Chain A
Amino acid sequence: MRPFTYERAADVRSAVAVCAAGDAAYLGGGTNLVDLMRLGVATPAVLVDVTRLPFDRIEETEEGGLLIGAGVRNSDLAADSRVRRRHPMLAQAVVAGASGQIRNMATVAGNLLQRTRCAYFQDVTKPCNKREPGSGCPARRGEHRNLAVLGHSDACVATHPSDMAVPLAALGAVVHIEGPGGSRQVPMPGFHRLPGDRPERDTVLEPGELVTAVEVPPLAFGARSRYRKVRDRASFAFAVVSVAAALDVADGMVRDCRIALGGVAHVPWRAELAEAELCGGPATEAAFTRAAGLEMAQARPLERNAFKVPLAANVLVRTLIDLVEAR
């Protein structure tokens, strides 16, 4: 691991100033960054520890939403009674990720900004456009069983690994950012970006920018929501495919819905086509199947991950049926 100096940020301004000066990285729980530094994938000269900044609370907003501090630990997010009551899919997604120990360490910002688990990205002896722009993408022809089927490019077929980000994308959560040039807010799913020809950039975050909070706007029917994750073993594994869905049904009709998919793209994938197809239509299995099919018809699977296309459609349909049947 490259030696580095360690700084503990006293306030936002100084944290941003140090990081914007270059060759520095913010340190959250370290569960991803420390590992990547050990693997030689990340080589910052300075680590700016932001875990003691006062961003560790979840507050109510005036509009009735929740402002989740960037430093809130994943386990505290999932344990929050407001999150559990108002947005079950968010609490479920968080506890579906990693393990108890890792969730105690991981922060909300670190979770959003964790890097892909593509094996080539994590192996510095291999080419990888995301790690070393222009070096190539061996995953396209190699090991890509768990990589993208939607929105990928010639340059990169990686997936975003976060569970938490999937319901946040469905909820249109807004990422609060503080940077050298001032503050700004970016709504999800627009915070993460598709790889295009710049796969080295996972998000729209500019160098030195600090995530300070994630705001979840109110959603009247959020209590009727669910996160469903398919993985290779029962626990402690990344998603192969996942679905976060919230459904507003009355008299057998879908009044409104929010849907996002995980494990299928470089971003938490907001299923806009499926949402549009469902809204105002009947809440039936046939309608759900049609909407899921429409969404997944955009997929361009690779040689060894075509199974994800029907899998994602089936998991979406099942999740919607569960939500209708739920009381």
Chain B
Amino acid sequence: MSELKDTGFDDPVTVDVTLSVNGESRPVTVDTRETLLDTLREHLALTGAKKGCDHGQCGACTVLVDGRRVKSCLTLTVTLDDRRITTVEGLAAGDTLHPLQSAFIETDAFQCGYCTPGQLCSAVGMLAEVADGWPSAVTADVAGRPVLDDDEIRERMSGNLCRCGAYVNIVAAIRQVGA
């Protein structure tokens, strides 16, 4: 028997966690290094969230955790038990699309569609933030209540890139639902 070489690497560590995804309880065994994005795509067959950069820079992987938008490529799955995860697959109620999904179709807010699941989840979270009165970098009076105009939409959605440049219609879709 040949001797195994020491790679200098420790053994992978696995942990059992129970995730709540789109209202369903999903037990999974994950490597501690695994991100929510990889768990969704590789273990749970939820391939809506996309891997664009894997560095927090593009927003394609955006999902909602406890109703808040986050980047699933920088979220370790082991940190998430007891948390409520919503992916793009969970936005529609059965065959009834989420208003933002309908608006994206109506305003032609995508081309290749790669960024779209992230744009949708981000927009859902963003509209909730505005409803809660959170300021943004373009809110003139940071202590006042923000009004959702196009500048606010653009600033608040700046964490979601679109290589097809569908921005103009993405803003229009969000305005239609949010205004």
Interface residues, chain A, with chain B CB atoms under 8 Å away = 1-6, 27, 29-31, 34-35, 37-38, 45, 47, 49, 51, 75, 78-79, 81, 84-85, 88, 91-92, 95-96, 98-102, 104-105, 234-236
Give the docked Cα–Cα distance between A104 and B74 (Å).
12
Kindly identify, within residues 151 to 178 of chain B, every residue whose CB is under 8 Å from any CB belonging to chain A: 154-160
Q: Determine chain B's interface SS by DSSP, over half rule.
A: loop
Out of B33, B133, B139, which one reaches A1, CB within 8 Å? Answer: B33
Give the docked Cα–Cα distance between A2 and B33 (Å).
8
B41 to chain A, nearest CB (A): 16
Kindly identify, within residues 24 to 55 of chain B, every residue whose CB is under 8 Å from any CB belonging to chain A: 31-33, 35, 54-55
Give the docked Cα–Cα distance between A56 and B135 (Å).
20
Query: By the criterion CB–CB under 8 Å, are A99 and B159 in contact?
Result: yes
The 10 closest A-B pairs by CB, nearest first: A99-B159, A235-B158, A236-B158, A84-B143, A79-B134, A104-B68, A6-B32, A3-B10, A3-B12, A95-B137
Query: By the criterion CB–CB under 8 Å, are A3 and B142 in contact?
Result: no
Nearest chain-A residue to B81 (Cβ)?
Answer: A8
A-B contact count (CB 8 A): 118
A135 to chain B, nearest CB (A): 19
Evaluate whether A88 and B74 lie within 8 angstroms (CB atoms) in the complex, with A4-B32, A101-B159, A102-B56 already known: no
Give the docked Cα–Cα distance between A92 and B139 (Å).
9
Nearest chain-A residue to B132 (Cβ)?
Answer: A79
Query: By the criterion CB–CB under 8 Å, are A3 and B31 in contact?
Result: yes
The answer to the question of B11 belonging to the interface, with a C-beta cut-off of 8 Å to chain A, is yes
A51 to chain B, nearest CB (A): 7
Nearest chain-B residue to A38 (Cβ)?
Answer: B54
Query: By the criterion CB–CB under 8 Å, are B35 and A2 in contact?
Result: no
Query: By the criterion CB–CB under 8 Å, are A102 and B137 in contact?
Result: no
Query: By the criterion CB–CB under 8 Å, are A3 and B13 in contact?
Result: yes
Query: By the criterion CB–CB under 8 Å, are B10 and A45 in contact?
Result: yes
The answer to the question of B120 belonging to the interface, with a C-beta cut-off of 8 Å to chain A, is no
Evaluate whether A85 and B143 lie within 8 angstroms (CB atoms) in the complex, with A4-B33, A101-B69 already known: yes
Nearest chain-A residue to B72 (Cβ)?
Answer: A101
